[in-house]
């Protein structure tokens, strides 16, 4: 009877050691960042069908050094007037840019025209972004069709998920 309990104990001990080795290996992989899913995801810029994203960049910085730049194409099919922009992020301290915005608002954006949007004095460090890591910023554009007038405003928002440079 004692030999059966000893065999059962040795069996469970062997499984416990194997389980412990697996836990140590997973912990080591997580510690060195191999299991970080954001590192595996590609950079992307997603807007609605009205606006096409051509290029994008989030530059790391504190104070006046941080910038957020986008190159967007008007795919609405007619000239539009951009009246407002809003930037946000999912971090505890929201990503915000307090400096100059290029182009100034409001401005008319022709159909099919590629336009550069640049935001300066962004708080990328305060928002928790780390240089060389991925970051996600949301940009919302409020616009109306030039021929319809400001009574018929629309809003399109897009996400930029990229490596902070």
Answer yes or no: do 31 and 46 share one domain. no
Percent of the chain with pLDDT over 90: 56
- Model pTM greater than 0.85? no
* 116 lies in the same domain as 157: yes
Assigned token pair, 19: 């389980």
Q: What is the pLDDT of residues 81-122, one digit of tens each?
A: 999 999 999 888 888 888 888 888 999 999 999 999 999 988
75: alpha, beta or left? (left if phi > 0; alpha if psi -120 to 50): alpha
Q: Are residues 10 and 64 in the same domain?
A: no
Average pLDDT, the chain: 89
76 membership: H or E segment, kind and range: none
Predicted pLDDT of residue 19: 95
pLDDT at 1: 56
Number of structural domains the chain divides into: 2
Which pLDDT value is given to residue 85? 93
- Domain boundaries, position 158: 40-163
Residue stretches of the chain with pLDDT short of 50: none
Q: Are residues 132 and 116 in the same domain?
A: yes
In the prediction, which pLDDT does 39 show? 73
């Amino acid at each position: 009877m004692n030999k059966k309990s000893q065999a059962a104990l040795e069996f469970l001990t062997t499984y416990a050691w194997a389980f412990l080795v697996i836990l140590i290996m997973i912990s080591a992989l997580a510690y060195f960042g191999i299991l970080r899913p954001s590192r595996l995801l590609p950079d992307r810029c997603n807007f609605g069908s009205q606006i096409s994203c051509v290029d994008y960049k989030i530059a790391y910085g504190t104070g006046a050094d941080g910038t957020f730049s986008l190159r967007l194409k008007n795919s609405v099919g007619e000239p539009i007037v951009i009246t407002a922009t809003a930037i946000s992020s999912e971090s505890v301290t929201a990503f915000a840019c307090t400096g100059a915005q290029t182009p100034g608002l409001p401005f008319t954006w022709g159909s099919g025209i590629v336009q550069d949007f640049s935001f300066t004095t962004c708080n990328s460090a305060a928002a928790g972004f780390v240089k060389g890591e991925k970051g996600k910023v949301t940009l919302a554009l409020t616009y109306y069709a030039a021929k319809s007038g400001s009574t018929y405003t629309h809003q399109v928002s897009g996400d930029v998920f990229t490596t902070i440079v």
